[in-house]
Amino acid sequence: MPEVIRQLSELVANQIAAGEVVQRPASVVKELMENSVDAGAKRIDVRVVDAGRTLIQVTDNGVGMVRNDARRCFDRHATSKISKAEDLFAIVSKGFRGEALASIASIAHVELKTCHAEEEEGTRIQMKGGQVGEELPCPAETGTSISVKHLFFNVPARRNFLKSDAVEMRHVLDEFQRVALAHEGIHFTLQHNQAEMFNLKPGSQRQRVVGVFGSKYDERLVPIEESTDVFSVEGFVGKPAFARRSRGEQFLFVNQRFVKHHVLNRVIMEAYAGLLPPGQFPLYVLFLTIDPSRLDVNIHPTKTEVKFDEDRTIQALLLPAIRRGLGKYAVAPSLDFDQESSLIIAPLDVHRAVIEPQVRVNKDYNPFHVPSDSKARGGLRPGGGQIDAWKSLYGQDALNSEEPKNKEWIQPTPAVVVLPSTDFIQGRSLEEEAGSEVRPMFQFQKRYIVTATQSGMWMVDQHRAHQRVVYEALVVRLESNEKAVSSQQLLFPELVVLPAADRDFMLDSASWLNQLGLHFQSHEDGIEITGMPAEGETRSIDLVEAVLSEKDSDGSGISRPERVAAQMARALAVKPGRVLNAQEMEDLLDRLFGCSTPSLDPFGKPVIATFEMKEIEQRFN
């Protein structure tokens, strides 16, 4: 039998390793910046061309390398960070596996210039596809400069999987920000296509956070500081008033290493219980410091996950630490026992004339009198000759859409609701079912529109119904390339403060966002909204967050503009709790039944709940 197992070549092994270490240009930026941090650099300059496709250059003023080390650093598993297996449980550096440079050199053109502080001349090495092309002495300042050109030049399939320059540059910004936030004592700069994006000088943690996200963020930060025998935590959390609908501004660092820890993230969210509505996420930049022997950082190829020896203890201590920080700065709700407004009684005016109370009786009142407009009001409300009796027993609230004061009056046992999965009910289309000449309707709980049909009754969720209407109007404009959706121009532009990555995403998407009715212009702190879709009522910040919520999502076949249109429709749609008059309800239903899919909102949730007449009759048997 022939032998089939053979040893892979060094080049193939490095390219396989590159699949784990180098996923996109941002991965190269991360690895090179972390190497510079480990080298003790006080200044790190990052230069990117074409979002990293053409060039990634990282220059630092660290200790540099001698000639033999410069040659050896491109060998696989060559590192200065560890020497034995026990060192893995005391990692204090960013990198330690010795795979990064070997993997990068195997799939790109790499040029290294380095000079050690104790040497007079530097070393220049060129690599192409993992092979040494040239090695010469050269004049160089103390430190290291690595240029990575033509990434994935010999792996075209990987290169084809890269996204647009805008998307890849956002990932580069994310990695740059993570390293910069963790090392406030280092001077960082970032340049993209000759334009400077960041120039972060050394300073305090607060100054670094503000430098990364913008000056407006200074007022949003609540400092957190706690120290225990197990770990210490410091950093900042955001005030609830500035929470967003996306998780983009959440950073957790362990020993100055950015990590993703779902359990700790859940603990942080629990600290905001009662302070944030569902779907809102706060800003946080937290730094945990723990003994390196108490955690394992060698559980993920990209080193973004860690495992704690005392996981439950850290969770139990982190939650109260954040709550104390929120409470200390009067962010968390609290009771003021010194003064209760309901108990403050104004002093009696001694000069005020006292009027004797009088009782007035309407002698013409007849409880059995039927108002002339009772027929108009008697369709779905308690009506007929007893309408005044209902008012006297239960009050006017019993006849409105609000919850009645006497809950026993309208609290039946739960009914069986049939949610339509298609646009047909027992062979009849929704339009035919709703096509009654007389269609009495009313609003229930300021959330649902209740209307009679030919075979029973419908409850329509007004928020989801309006979502469907607005969404289809937006998508029609996108698909037909017609003129932009009607936009309401603002008298004064509204500033929305955004990080650089979010601002660039908005500017890159300006053409199709204008098509959706959202108009804006660039600002040094974010963007200025100049026009919004005319239909709907929402704040400009809510509309921008609706757009940004789809910034990094994968639509699995659905285009980003369509996904953004769905999020914008959710933000613009009439909210639960909004009182609608009869004309507004009728107009909304008419527009809903003109949609292609009236039974579902843009996110696939049911819009209409049907109650067949047979089901209603069975409730009274």
DSSP string spanning 122-177?
Answer: EEEEEEETTEEEEEEEE---SEEEEEEESTTTT-HHHHHT---HHHHHHHHHHHHH
- Pair 151, 62: CB distance under 8 Å: no
Average pLDDT score over residue span 332-359: 59
Predicted structure pTM score: 0.68
Average pLDDT score over residue span 424-444: 58
Q: What is the pLDDT of residues 30-64, one digit of tens each?
A: 999 999 999 999 999 999 999 999 999 999 999 99
Please say if the pLDDT value at position 155 is more than 90.
no
Rounded Cα gap, residues 537 and 541, in angstroms:
12
* Most confident by average pLDDT, 70-84, 211-225, 346-360: 211-225
Question: Which residue segments constitute the domains of the chain, with CATH numbers given?
Answer: 10-200 (3.30.565.10), 205-328 (3.30.230.10)
Rounded Cα gap, residues 182 and 33, in angstroms:
12
Average pLDDT score over residue span 553-577: 81
Burial 369-384 (b: 16+ CB within 10 A, else e): eeeeebeeebeeebbe
- Pair 62, 44: CB distance under 8 Å: no
- The label of the residue with tokens 């040497």 reads 119
Radius of gyration from C-alpha coordinates of the chain: 33
- Centroid of chain to Cα 506: 14
Q: What is the pLDDT of residues 197-243, one digit of tens each?
A: 999 999 999 999 999 998 888 888 999 998 888 889 999 999 988 88
Please say if the pLDDT value at position 589 is more than 80.
yes
- Pair 439, 452: CB distance under 8 Å: yes
Please give the structure tokens belonging to residue 124.
């220049």
- Pair 50, 166: CB distance under 8 Å: no
* Most confident by average pLDDT, 13-27, 438-452, 479-493: 438-452
Please give the structure tokens belonging to residue 438.
């007389």
Instruction: Point out the least confidently predicted range of 15-19, 306-310, 412-416.
Output: 412-416
